[in-house]
Structures are given as C-alpha cells and as structure tokens.
C-alpha cells in the first residue's frame, strides 16, 4: 500500500522535499552575505545570479531532457542542488555564496524542466492535468515550508548549520528519484536544435497563450513579493504581521491546487484561467485601499487562490500544444520567459514606484493583470 501510494504521488513527494531544501536557503542568502560583510549592491548581485544564468540556458536544458529522458536530469539536478547548498556550509566565504547561487539556480531549472516533462510526457489530457497538479502542489508546499524551516535551523544552528541540514534534505529527494521508472520518458529527440528553431514554437497559438498566462502570474507574484512588504510598512504593520499576510497568500495558492482537478470537471479550463487571473487583478487594485491587517490578509489569500490556479494549468496547456518529442524544449522555453520576467519585472516596477509610489504599483499591476487575463482564452 505504501509503495503504491508513493508511486502515485512520487512527483509530488520528490518536488516537495527538493524545494524544501533549495528554497529554504533563499531568505538566508542575503542574511549570510550581510554577515560576511557584503554591501546592499553586492547582495543584490548575488541574489540575482539565481534566476539570471538559467535564463540563458533553460532552452538547451529542455532539449537535453528531450534527448536523454527525464530520470537522469532529475537525479543529477538533486545532487548538484545538494552540493550547491553544502558549499556555504563547507567554506565560509562570499565566493562560496556566489558559486552556491549559480549552481543552485541551474539545479533548480534542470529539476523543474525534467520534472515537468516527467509529469507531462506520454500521458492523456486528464492524466497530465492531474500529474502536473501534483507536481505543482509539491513545489508550493516545499516553497511554503522551506523558508520557515530554514529560519528555525538558522536560529538554532546558525546559517552554516542551516545550509548543512537543508543540503541533507535535498539528498533525500536524490534517493527517492532513483526509483523513478525510466520507461516514463519523452520520445527521444536526438537532433540538436538551434535557439531560433526553439523560438519557432511561439508560432503555435496555444503556446503563446500559455506563455502569456505564465508571465502574468509570475509578474504578479514577483511584484507582490517585492513590494507588498513596503506597502505594509507604510501602513504601519509589523514585520511579523507582514510575514503572516504573505504566508496567507502562499496558503491560498496551495489550497486551490488541491481543488483544481474538481473545478476542471465543472468549469472549462479557459474560464477557470480567465476568471482566476481577472480576480487576482481586481484584488491587486484593492490592496492599497485598506490599512486593516485582517482585510489585507483576506485580499492576499484571495490573490493566492487566483495565482495558484493559472501556473499549473499553463504548464499543462504548454505540454498539450507541443510535439511529443519537444516537450522538454518547450517547457525550457517557457521557463526562459519566466526567468526574464523575474529579472526584469522588479526593475521595471521599481522605476514605476519612483513616479507613481508603492500605491500606484498595485493599481498598475492590477490593470495589467486584468487586461492580460481577458486575453488568456485557451481554445478548448
């Protein structure tokens, strides 16, 4: 019974454990860098290395997964991730943090592309939706619990100890990934494709729509994470209250993922996506209108519900529209678009904040999200 349960939820469990370790260190990186004497500009550069380098190589990673299948990349990415997190434990120097972020960002990207391919390839439409939703739940739970555990470990065993423990956690996902059945692989694509050939996938209408959905949701999450703490501070909220409100946003994203398979039996995928994105956009515009922590918590939770639906459905919509032998490549291209958004959005909206204030950011974000949501109709 335990074996059948593990096989059914294998991708959820492996993603959950991997993301506890890899995301659990994210809040600790700037703190540890500061302790080592890095200034604000240096800390920003170190943190930016995590999403920046995978932006340039995600497509090639996807092609690589298509050529050799998903099992080996999953196993190798968990090993590299564990080693990346172990570096600051072994070497107490700013250079170790730099290499740690480079390796961790690459490991995260390879794991994401390979695991999404595992969840997508060789499955029926319904099986694919359920498998991707399981992966998405594992990612969301790991990303929610990881930073909390990282903070607890750091409080008890300092930053060095926290990195050592979280590296060990990732190795558990390595062991479990050994049991992935290699028969569940994508159709081999031995031909090396040029980047321009990969970009030709954007000619497929459903791919463009799926990418638009993903970019809108990533944009909302990045701007919310970056600027809601500043909004809360302007309202006079304490750090702990702001943290709780942000946790409610993450909890909404986790909860709705459990309900998506049920919702898909009642409402069309297109209506779910459009409704969830537009709902998020409306509530983004409501954030600056209330200083009540309770109301802000409710609004943030609802935004989490909205954003939690679209991302896994954009993955499955992307996989549905791709040729069977190019699923990894297409998902790598999607991840490239996501990374570009992660790098550019905070910079763009930082400039907007200089002109329109933090309040104005959420009004503009809400308008952009609503307009994008209305254009996100997925052909059934």
Q: Is residue 83 part of a domain?
A: yes
Question: Which pLDDT score, from 0 to 100, does residue 284 have?
Answer: 94
| CA-angle at 297, arms to 108 and 153, nearest 5° | 45
Question: Within its chain, how far is the Cα of 9 from the centroid?
Answer: 19
Q: Is 122 left (phi over 0), alpha (psi -120 to 50) or beta?
A: left
> Which tens digits make up the pLDDT trace of 99-113?
998 999 899 989 998
Q: Do 168 and 200 belong to one domain?
A: no
Percentage of the residues of the chain whose pLDDT score is greater than 70: 92
pLDDT digits (tens, 9 = 90+) for 140-151: 888 888 888 888
Q: Alpha-carbon distance 61 to 54, whole Å? A: 9
Report whether 301 contacts 251 (CB < 8 A): yes
pLDDT of residue 189: 47
Range of the domain at 147: 2-190
Same domain, 298 and 184: no
> Has residue 155 been placed in a domain?
yes
**Residue 183 pLDDT > 70, yes or no?**
no
Tokens coding 191: 């031909």
DSSP helix/strand/coil, 39 = coil
Other CB atoms within a 10 A radius of the CB of residue 144 amount to 18
**Boundary (domain end) residue, out of 190, 211, 239:** 190
Give the count of domains, the chain.
Answer: 2
Asked whether 140 and 254 are in contact (CB, 8 A), the reply is yes
Q: What is the pLDDT of residue 355?
A: 77
Q: In angstroms, rounded to a whole number, what is the distance separating the alpha carbons of residues 141 and 80?
A: 22
Q: Please tell me whether residues 183 and 221 are part of one structural domain.
A: no
User: Is the pLDDT higher at 336 or at 294?
Assistant: 294
Pick from 169, 168, 192, 186: nearest CA to 71? 186
Average pLDDT of the chain to the nearest whole number: 83
What pLDDT shows up at residue 230? 79
Confidence of residue 123 (pLDDT cuts 50, 70, 90): low
∠ CA 274-278-283, rounded to 5°: 150
Position 247 pLDDT exceeds 60: yes
User: Which of 159, 190, 221 is the last residue in one of the domains?
Assistant: 190
At residue 210 the predicted structure's pLDDT band, cuts being 50, 70 and 90, is confident
Is residue 109 located within the same domain as residue 48?
Answer: yes
At residue 343, the pLDDT reads 74
CATH number of the domain bearing residue 11: 1.20.1250.20
- State which of 128, 161, 190 marks the end of a domain: 190
Distance from C-alpha of 113 to C-alpha of 70, rounded to nearest angstrom: 9
**8 Å CB contact between 46 and 29:** yes
On whether the CB atoms of residues 250 and 301 are closer than 8 A, the answer is: no
Same-domain status, 51 and 80: yes
380 occurs within a structural domain? no
Per DSSP, the three-state class of 25 is coil
Q: Stretch 35-64: mean pLDDT, rounded?
A: 78
- Is pLDDT of 380 > 60? no
Residues 182 and 248 in one domain: no
Task: Answer whether residue 171 is part of any domain.
Answer: yes
pLDDT of residue 207: 83
């Amino acid at each position: 019974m335990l074996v059948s349960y593990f096989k059914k939820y294998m991708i959820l469990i492996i993603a959950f454990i991997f993301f506890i370790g890899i995301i659990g260190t994210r809040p600790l990186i700037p703190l540890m860098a500061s302790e080592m004497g890095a200034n604000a500009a240096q800390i920003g550069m170190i943190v930016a290395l995590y999403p920046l380098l995978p932006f340039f190589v995600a497509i090639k990673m996807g092609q690589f997964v298509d050529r050799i299948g998903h099992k080996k990349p999953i196993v190798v990415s968990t090993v590299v991730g564990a080693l990346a997190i172990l570096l600051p434990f072994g070497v107490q120097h700013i250079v170790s943090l730099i290499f740690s972020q480079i390796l961790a960002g690459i490991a995260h990207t390879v794991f994401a592309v390979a695991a999404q391919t595992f969840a997508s390839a060789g499955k029926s439409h319904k099986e694919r939706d359920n498998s991707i939703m399981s992966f998405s739940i594992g990612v969301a739970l790991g990303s929610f619990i990881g930073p909390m555990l990282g903070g607890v470990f750091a409080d008890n065993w300092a930053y060095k100890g926290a990195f050592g423990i979280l590296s060990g956690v990732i190795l558990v996902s390595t062991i479990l990934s050994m049991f992935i059945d290699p028969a569940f692989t994508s159709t081999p694509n031995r031909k090396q494709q040029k980047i321009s050939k990969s970009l030709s996938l954007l000619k497929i209408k459903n791919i463009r729509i799926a990418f638009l959905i993903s970019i809108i949701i990533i944009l909302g999450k990045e701007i919310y994470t970056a600027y809601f703490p500043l909004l809360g501070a302007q309202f006079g909220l304490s750090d702990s209250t702001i943290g709780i409100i942000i946790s409610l946003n993450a909890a909404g994203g986790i909860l709705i993922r459990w309900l998506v398979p049920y919702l898909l039996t009642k409402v069309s995928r297109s209506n779910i996506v459009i409704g969830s994105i537009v709902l998020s956009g409306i509530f983004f515009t409501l954030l600056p209108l209330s200083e009540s922590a309770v109301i802000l918590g409710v609004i943030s939770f609802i935004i989490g519900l909205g954003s939690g639906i679209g991302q896994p459905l954009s993955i499955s919509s992307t996989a549905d529209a791709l040729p069977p032998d190019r699923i990894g490549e297409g998902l790598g291209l999607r991840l490239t678009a996501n990374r570009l958004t992660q790098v550019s959005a905070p910079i763009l909206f930082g400039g907007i904040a200089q002109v329109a204030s933090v309040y104005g950011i959420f009004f503009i974000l809400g308008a952009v999200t609503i307009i994008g949501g209305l254009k996100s109709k997925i052909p059934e």
